[in-house]
Amino acid sequence: MTPEDIRRAVPREAFVPDTLWIRQDDGWAVPITRQEHPEEWTRLVCDDEQPVITQVDDGVADKGIWPTSSGSSPEIMADMIDALDVRPGLRVLEIGTGTGYNAAVLATVVGAGNVTTVEIAPEIAAHARAALGRAGYPVNLVIADGVGGYAPGAPYDRIIVTAAAHRIPAAWIRQTRPGGVIVVPWAPTFHPDWPLCRLTVRPDGTAAGRFLGPASFMPLRGQRLPQSVIHDTERRWRQAGEPACTRYGITVTDREQRIWLDVPDNVVA
């Protein structure tokens, strides 16, 4: 799937809210509205390579520093959907509804009745629910903390996460069928590129996979990291010779998770 495929399948404009946030030279992010800045709003929405920021600092201020919700770019959506290997009829759980756009695109592939999407923020979920309804994609939208997945809809063939993690919750593995796939962006705990992880769940309840390439996302609310960890990761990565993120893999059991370089026996985190 390409960004062009995604745009042809579902118009992004139907899901992006009227208020977006842009970064100023002084570092603060401030809002712009579709009504007051239609050309800038349209330019941001039509950029296939960049996300749009839809909330900062958990929505508690008129300006902010940290993006806390966004609409993914069609480019990264295409990469993640390709990694997910979705096909008609597969049951998909999405962690992090955001604008609802990704859920709508997934629905065009697997069918709206096969998509469950979980959003932690009620106000964000309300916007997505309305947009999905207007566009005709009646997916199952649940307001909850996505770390717990959504057991009533399990088992799933695929789980896609639109926020960065650095620990794989056991619920995600339990709720995925053996042979099913989990795609999740990874926080910079071992590599500064925030790499995308693709895990396959095994019949014994473990999971393993590799990292595919850069995929920077905002972190899950319960897995945010201090800046010191991010700086330390880059330092350690440089000391290791700056290995490509695609050389790393991960194994997850019910007791631990191990990140390794090149081969599973070479554990680095």
The pLDDT value recorded for residue 27 is 84
Other beta carbons within 10 Å of 61: 11
What's the number of CA atoms in the CB half-sphere (13 Å) around residue 198? 15
Residue showing tokens 């309305």: 130
The pLDDT value recorded for residue 149 is 98
Per DSSP, 161 falls in state: E
Positions annotated as catalytic residues are 72
Mean confidence (pLDDT) of the chain: 94
Per DSSP, 14 falls in state: G
Strands annotated E in the chain = 19-23, 29-33, 52-56, 67-71, 92-95, 115-119, 140-143, 156-161, 176-185, 195-201, 207-214, 248-252, 257-261
Task: Tell me the C-alpha distance between 176 and 26, whole Å.
Answer: 44
**Token representation of residue 29:** 């992010």
**Token representation of residue 7:** 């745009």
Nearest to 114 by CA among 96, 146, 134, 89: 89
The pLDDT tens digits for 68-102 are: 889 999 999 999 999 999 999 999 999 999 999 99
CB 118 within 8 A of CB 133: no
**DSSP code string of 102-144:** HHHHHHHHH-GGGEEEEES-HHHHHHHHHHHHHHT---EEEES
The pLDDT tens digits for 128-153 are: 999 999 999 999 999 999 999 999 99
Return left, alpha or beta for 205; rule: phi > 0 is left, psi -120 to 50 is alpha, else beta: left
60, pLDDT greater than 90: no
The pLDDT value recorded for residue 6 is 93
The pLDDT tens digits for 192-224 are: 999 999 999 999 999 999 999 999 898 999 999
Q: Residue range 17-21: average pLDDT? A: 94
Q: How confident is the model at residue 25 (pLDDT cuts 50, 70, 90)?
A: confident
Q: Give the amino acid at 104.
A: A
Query: What dihedral do alpha carbons 256, 182, 140, 187 form, nearest 10°?
Result: 70
Q: Residue range 161-186: average pLDDT? A: 97
Q: How confident is the model at residue 64 (pLDDT cuts 50, 70, 90)?
A: confident
Task: Tell me the C-alpha distance between 167 and 15, whole Å.
Answer: 30
Return left, alpha or beta for 169; rule: phi > 0 is left, psi -120 to 50 is alpha, else beta: beta
The pLDDT value recorded for residue 61 is 67
172, pLDDT greater than 70: yes
